[in-house]
Structure formats: C-alpha cells, structure tokens
C-alpha cells in the first residue's frame, strides 16, 4: 500500500477512535483536565521526536542506529494525530452550549490547552525539521537549486519556519504563526508538484499544513464566546 493511502487510513481511523474516546473522557474528566492531558501527550511526543532527530543527525553511527527504530515508532503517531486535529477543529466550529453542565468534545476542542498542545507539537516538529535539514545541508541545497531557487532561499525558508514555530508557542501570536506556516507549507507542496515529485514527498508538508489550519481554527474558536440561548 502506498504511503498516501496509509496516511489517509491512519488519519481517518484515528479520528473515528478519538470521536468515541473523547466523547466519554470529556464527560468523565471535564474539558479542562482533558485539555491539559492532551497538551502533555503532544509535548512529550514532539520532544521525544526532536531529541531522536538530534541524536540521529548529530551523534555517532552507534547511537543513531539505536535511535532510528524509536523514531520510526514515534512517526506512527504523525497521521493519527493529524486526524484528531482535524476532528477537533470541526468540533470546535460546531460548538454549542452543553446541556446539564456536561463537557463535550466541542468544549475540549475549544479549550486553549488543546490548541497549545497541537502548537507545541508542530513547533517542535519544525525544530526537528531544521536539524535534519542542517544535517543534510548538501542534499537540501541541491534540492533547492534543482527546484530553481538560489541556495540562500533554503536558509530564508528555514528562518521563516523557525520564526513561525516560535510564534506558535505564544497564545498572542499563535494564529498568525499558524497562518504563516500554512502558507509556507502550501509553497513547499507547490514546489514538489511543479517538480513532478511523487506526492508522498509532500506528506510531511501536507501534515503540517493540516495541523496548522486546525490550530488556526481552534485558536479562533477558543476566543469566541458561545451564543446565549
């Protein structure tokens, strides 16, 4: 099965499972506690991935070979989390007042901790991307040159991604940073399409685009009061 189909199936199945689990957990634990738990899960996944990429990119062959299976395991969460992010974005936009004070998935989706969790995940993911690019500087420069860009443009894009990643870490700049990164990812996908590259080469950019759009939606709804009545 090709990588695109695998990613799609993982995202859809994860969204379905999350719909069932989150509905139960939101009612039992409350939206705030569930949001905090989600923030911690996202942060730990992203930090483990960042450290793993750093070891593979910067450490010796022995440590790198030991870390690669761990990274492959962590990457299994990429598209399931993307599916959950899209589910939460949709839930937040369809949010209605909950009956009887019971927390719903929409209440959890609209918590600032939920957007913060996805933001930390994306931000640390971009930091890992930049470490990987620097570790494969020659190959990345060749890709940009073959794509018709000057080599300096690669470093400009890296700087732009770092600025966006840092912006995601702060609530005040989160929405702009998510939009900023989404635009960059659209450009990355467009470059691959123009080059005639396999669509699987765009999967990381597509994943970050979808989660960035989800963060944008969640950050907006977390600031929007519910209608009365």
Residue 229 within a domain: no
pTM of full prediction above 0.85: yes
Report the percent of the chain where pLDDT is more than 70.
Answer: 91
pLDDT of residue 181: 98
Residue 228 within a domain: no
Residue 73 within a domain: yes
Residue 51 within a domain: yes
pLDDT of residue 221: 62
Residue 147 within a domain: yes
Question: What is the separation of C-alpha 162 from the centre of its chain, rounded to a whole number of angstroms?
Answer: 14
* Inter-CA distances, 194 with 31, 106, 172, 202, Å: 44, 39, 35, 12
Query: In terms of residue numbers, what domain contains 120?
Result: 3-222
Query: Nearest to residue 121, comparing CAs of 95, 88, 156, 92?
Result: 88
Residue 227 within a domain: no
Decide: 71 and 52 in contact? Cβ < 8 Å: yes
Number of structural domains in the chain = 1
- What does the pLDDT look like over 184-195, one tens digit per residue? 999 999 999 999
pLDDT of residue 96: 56
Highest mean pLDDT among 29-38, 61-70, 88-97, 155-164: 155-164
């Amino acid at each position: 099965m090709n990588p695109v189909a695998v990613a799609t199936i993982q995202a859809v199945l994860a969204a379905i499972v999350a719909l069932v689990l989150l509905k139960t957990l939101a009612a039992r634990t409350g939206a705030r506690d569930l949001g905090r738990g989600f923030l911690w899960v996202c942060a730990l996944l992203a930090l483990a991935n960042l450290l793993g990429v750093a070891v593979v990119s910067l450490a010796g062959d022995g440590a790198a070979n030991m870390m690669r299976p761990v990274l492959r395991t962590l990457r299994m969460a990429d598209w399931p989390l993307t599916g959950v992010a899209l589910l939460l974005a949709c839930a937040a936009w369809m949010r209605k007042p909950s009956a009887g004070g019971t927390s719903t998935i929409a209440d959890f989706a609209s918590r600032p901790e939920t957007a913060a969790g996805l933001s930390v995940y994306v931000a640390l993911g971009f930091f890992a991307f930049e470490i990987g690019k620097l570790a494969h500087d020659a190959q990345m420069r060749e890709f940009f040159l073959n794509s018709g860009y000057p080599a300096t443009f690669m470093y400009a894009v890296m700087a732009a991604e770092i600025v966006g990643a840092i912006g995601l870490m702060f609530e005040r700049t989160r929405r702009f940073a998510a939009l900023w990164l989404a635009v960059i990812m659209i450009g990355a996908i467009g470059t691959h399409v123009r080059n005639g590259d396999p669509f699987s080469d765009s999967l990381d950019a597509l994943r970050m685009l979808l989660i960035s759009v989800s963060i944008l939606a969640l950050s907006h709804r977390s600031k929007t009061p519910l209608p009365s009545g």
